[in-house]
Structure 1
Amino acid sequence: MTLYHFGNCIALIYVPYYLAYKQSGLSEYGAFWKCIQAGLIYMVTQLGKMMVLATFFPDNVSDLGSDFIGEFLKSTVDLADLVGLYLVLASIPGKGHSKVLTAGIGWATAEVILSRALLLWVGARGAEFDWIYIQKCLESNILLVQHIITATLLWLWSRHDLKDSIKSVVTILLLFTAYKGLLLDFLISGTNTNAWVGLLIKAIVTVGYGVFTLVVYAGLAQVIGIF
């Protein structure tokens, strides 16, 4: 039974990543090594973030509601993810859709391997079933969409032919990306929402501004013919 549960978690967490890579056509572009490169940049970025957090926020463990300012400052370090993902985009040649998908999927895959693999191996193989591992797997699928959206926003932000009004909105969305996790966790914990409803809120928020990003990207794609 424990092996069956572990297998379900592995399939739930990794199959969507595999399907996203195969069905997006990235395999036809030979993007595998670019995804590996994105993963390496992700690891370097996380190492840098850990060093900053260890230097400026040593042993700062507190309740989210009691030290929101401290957690906000710690979340500011997540802006480094935008820099790292931008470097990934800059290193990938090709059209817009292949760049954002390669960067987003490569970055997300590195994160899910480093942050979820050990958790599943140690926890999901336990003797007792726990819904938390199913929730973590579903959250990873939301993060896959999130990273592709972030890569798209960064690509849009780097364009010189984007209207100033739209670029300002894109900039706001990028900043929101860095603080989204903190703000949603604060909202969920402040309203005493259970884990499943909290997961639904995260999915709705991600889909919401993902749709907006897709509209902006599709509009620009039609104008300049990047497809």
Structure 2
Amino acid sequence: MTLYHFGNCIALIYVPYYLAYKNSGLPEYGAFWKCIQAGFCYMFTQLAKMLILATFFPDNVSDLGSDLIGEFLKSTVDLADLVGLYIVLASIPGKGHSKVLTAGIGWATAEVILSRALLLWVGARGAEFDWIYIQKCLESNIFLIQHIVTATLIWLWSRHDLKSNIRTAVTLLLVLTSYKSLLLDLLLTGMGASAWFGLFIKAFVTMVYGFFTLMIYAGLAQVIGIF
């Protein structure tokens, strides 16, 4: 039973990543090694963030809500992820859609391996079934969409032919991306929401992000023909 549960979690968490890569057309561009490079950039970025947090926020284990300024400053460190993704995008040649998919999938895959593999190996193989591992797997699929959306926003922001009002909207979405986790945690904590409802809210907010990003990207594609 434990092996069956572990296998279900592995399939739920990694198969969507494989299908996203396989069906996105990236194999035709030979993007596998570029995804690997994006993963290494993710690891370097997380190491830099850990060093910053360890230097400026040592032994800070206060509960969410008791130190909002500290939590806000910690979330500000997540702006480094935007810099890391920008570097990844700048190193990938090709058209816009292949660049954002390669960067987003490579970045998300590195995150899910480093943050979920050990959790599943230690926890999902336990003797008792726990829904928390299913929830973590579903949350990882939400992160996949979020990272692709973030990569798209960064690519849009880096273009010089973007109108000023659109650039402002893209910049606002990018800034909110860094603080989205903090804002959602505050909202869900204040509502006393259950884990499943919190997962639904995270998925809904991510889909809203994706919808607005897709509208901006599609509008730019129609104007300059980047598809």
Q: TM-score range by the shorter chain?
A: over 0.9
Deviation for aligned residue 1:223: 1.1
Aligned residue in 2 for 1:74: 74
Deviation for aligned residue 1:67: 1.1
Deviation track 1:4-32 (CA, whole Å, cap 9, x = no partner) reads: 00000000000000000000010110000
Deviation for aligned residue 1:190: 1.2
Q: How many residues align?
A: 227
Deviation for aligned residue 1:96: 0.1
Deviation for aligned residue 1:39: 0.3
Runs of 4+ in 1 over 6 A off after TM superposition: none
SS for the counterpart of 2:62 is coil
**Residue pair 1:65, 1:190 contacting (<8 A) in 2 also:** no
* 1:90 partner letter: A
Where do 1:209-224 residues align within 5 Å?
209-224=209-224
Aligned residue in 1 for 2:186: 186
* 1:122 partner letter: V
- Ranges in structure 2 where 5+ consecutive residues have no aligned partner: none
| Percent sequence identity over aligned pairs | 83
Deviation track 1:74-126 (CA, whole Å, cap 9, x = no partner) reads: 11000000000000000000000000000000000000000000000000000
* 2:171 partner letter: T
Aligned residue in 2 for 1:87: 87
* 1:31 partner letter: A
Aligned residue in 2 for 1:201: 201
Aligned residue in 1 for 2:226: 226
* 2:6 partner letter: F
Where do 1:43-122 residues align within 5 Å?
43-122=43-122
Q: Alpha carbon RMSD of aligned pairs, Å?
A: 0.5
Q: Which moved more, 1:217-226 or 1:90-99?
A: 217-226
* 1: CA distance, partners of 2:174 / 2:203: 17
* 2:136 partner letter: K
Aligned residue in 1 for 2:25: 25
* 2:121 partner letter: W
Aligned residue in 2 for 1:133: 133
* 2: CA distance, partners of 1:36 / 1:219: 31
TM-score (norm 2): 0.99
* 1: CA distance, partners of 2:104 / 2:192: 32
